[in-house]
């Protein structure tokens, strides 16, 4: 056995002994005992991929990663997308999400970046399947992110609603980020391309109407689905520590950056390109 083989066998043994504990009833797992700046070989990523598929969201505490190291880790999951409105100064493939003085700006339809329930970039024709968010600077209080499991949301709908929405499609717009940003039409219920589990796929930030319904019908149905999709029973609320990296599956999960702070909060984010939702 060569030295390289010996190292990789040791790595496999140790990463399979990771400490994995549930983050909440609805979703999520906390993963301890891994340094993502170093431990991101193919076998490790495959193992983490199966944990993400099972739990929909993974919390990795204490990850000391520069933006470039975060990008390198992100690239192990697939092709990275850029975002029209946010770029880190060192790389286009890490998004810099920062701001302050955003406390309780509760005007209808007005959210700081990441506020309002959404799945990332659903206006894109191939929206990200995975997001990784890394906490770089945090307010002394507040600034949590809430997540909601959209498989459970779909599965707990009544049969009549499931039938009503089975073949519907919805229009999602990215124009909030600029006049040239694309719009897309996606199914209201999407089927996860790896687990084959169905999930609700509409959100208050980017979904503007349901194709083929009158404005009134569309608004009433969307409002009902938005309210159901974010019931507290389906959620996990992440209270950030510095250097936490949280990854989630946008095919299963919506999220909401809670704007209840007025000190600086800085996050670095990567998003991994997905397929066309179906
Ligand atoms: C996002 O929408 O991806 C940002 C979430 C956050 O800043 O908590």
From the CB of 149, is ligand 1 less than 6 Å away?
A: no
CA distance 14 to 177: 43
**Average pLDDT of the segment spanning 217-226:** 96
Q: Are 96 and 86 in contact (CB under 8 A)?
A: yes
Q: Which atom from ligand 1 is nearest to the alpha carbon of 269?
A: 3
Six-digit token string for 250: 């946008």
* Residue bearing tokens 């193992």: 47
pLDDT at 10: 45
Say yes or no to pLDDT of 210 above 60.
yes
Q: What pLDDT score was predicted for residue 6?
A: 37
Q: What is the pLDDT of residue 104?
A: 55
Residue nearest atom 3 in ligand 1 by C-alpha distance? 114
Grouping H, G, I as helix, E, B as strand and the rest as coil, residue 249 is strand
Q: Confirm if 251 and 154 have CB atoms less than 8 A apart.
A: no
d(CA 44, CA 12): 7
Both tokens of 141, joined, read: 């209080």
Atom of ligand 1 nearest to the CA of 97: 7
pLDDT digits (tens, 9 = 90+) for 127-150: 999 999 999 999 999 999 999 999
* 253 band by pLDDT with thresholds 50, 70 and 90: very high
CA pair distance 169, 165, nearest whole angstrom: 8
Task: Detail the DSSP E strand segments found in 74-127.
Answer: 80-81, 95-99
Distance from the alpha carbon of residue 255 to the mean position of ligand 1, in angstroms: 7
**86 ligand 1 Cβ < 6 A:** no
Average pLDDT over residues 218-230: 96
Q: Which of 11-25, 127-141, 215-229 has the weakest average pLDDT?
A: 11-25
- For the cut 70, the answer to whether the pLDDT of residue 184 exceeds it is yes
Output the CA torsion sign for 191, 218, 167, 160: positive
Percent of the chain residues past pLDDT 90, beyond the cut:
74
For ligand 1, whether the C-beta of 97 sits within 6 Å is: yes
* CA 240 to ligand 1: nearest atom: 8
pTM higher than the cut 0.75? yes
Least confident range from 111-115, 211-215, 257-261: namely 111-115
Domain 3-273, CATH homologous superfamily name and number: Clavaminate synthase-like (3.60.130.10)
Write the CA distances from 150 to 6, 77, 107, 250, 273, integer angstroms.
42, 22, 26, 9, 19
What are 25's two structure tokens? 């009833």
Taking residue 137's Cβ as centre, other Cβ atoms within 10 Å add up to 13
267 in contact with ligand 1, CB cutoff 6 A: yes
Atom of ligand 1 nearest to the CA of 267: 7
Cα-based distances in Å from 156 to 54, 165, 193: 19, 14, 21
Tokens of 77: 């999951």
Q: How far is CA 52 from the centre of its chain?
A: 11
- Pick the residue whose CA is nearest to atom 4 on ligand 1: 114
> Does 190 contact ligand 1 (Cβ within 6 A)?
no
| CB 257 less than 6 A from any atom of ligand 1 | yes
Both tokens of 31, joined, read: 């993963």
pLDDT level of residue 5 (50, 70, 90 thresholds): very low
CB of 131 closer than 6 angstroms to any ligand 1 atom? yes
Q: Note whether 146 and 261 are within 8 A (CB).
A: no
Residue 142 CA to residue 260 CA, distance in Å, equals 6
Which residues lie across from 137 on neighbouring strands? 266
Name the residue of 269, 270, 271 to mutate for ligand 1: max ligand atoms within 8 A of Cβ.
269
According to DSSP, the β-strands at 169-173 and 145-149 are unpaired
253 within 8 A of 132, measured Cβ to Cβ: no
Taking the CA of residue 248 as centre, how many other CA atoms within 13 Å lie in the half-sphere pointing to its CB? 28
């Amino acid at each position: 056995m060569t030295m390289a083989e010996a190292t990789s066998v040791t790595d496999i043994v140790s990463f399979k002994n990771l400490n994995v504990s549930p983050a909440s009833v609805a979703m999520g797992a906390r993963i301890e005992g891994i340094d993502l700046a170093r431990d991101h070989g193919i076998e490790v990523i495959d193992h983490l991929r199966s944990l993400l598929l099972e739990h929909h969201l993974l919390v990795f505490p204490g990850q000391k990663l520069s933006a470039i190291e975060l990008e390198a880790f992100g690239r192990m999951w697939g092709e990275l997308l850029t975002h029209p409105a946010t770029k880190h100064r060192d790389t286009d493939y890490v998004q810099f999400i920062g701001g302050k003085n955003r406390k309780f700006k509760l005007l209808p339809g007005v959210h700081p970046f990441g506020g309002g329930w959404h799945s990332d970039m659903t206006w894109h024709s191939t929206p990200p399947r995975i997001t990784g968010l890394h906490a770089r600077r945090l307010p002394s209080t507040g600034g949590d992110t809430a997540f909601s499991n959209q498989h459970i949301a779909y599965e707990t709908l009544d049969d009549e609603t499931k039938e009503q929405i089975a073949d519907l499609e919805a229009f999602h717009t990215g124009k909030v980020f600029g006049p040239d940003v694309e719009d897309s039409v996606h199914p209201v219920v999407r089927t996860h391309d790896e687990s084959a589990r169905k999930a609700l796929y509409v959100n208050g930030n980017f979904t503007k109407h349901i194709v083929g319904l009158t404005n009134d019908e569309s608004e009433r149905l969307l409002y009902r689905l938005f309210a159901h999709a974010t019931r507290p029973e389906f959620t996990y609320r992440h209270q950030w520590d510095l250097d936490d990296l949280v990854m989630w599956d946008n095919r299963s999960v919506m999220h909401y950056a809670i704007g209840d702070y007025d000190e600086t909060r800085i996050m670095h984010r990567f998003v991994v390109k997905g397929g066309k939702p179906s």
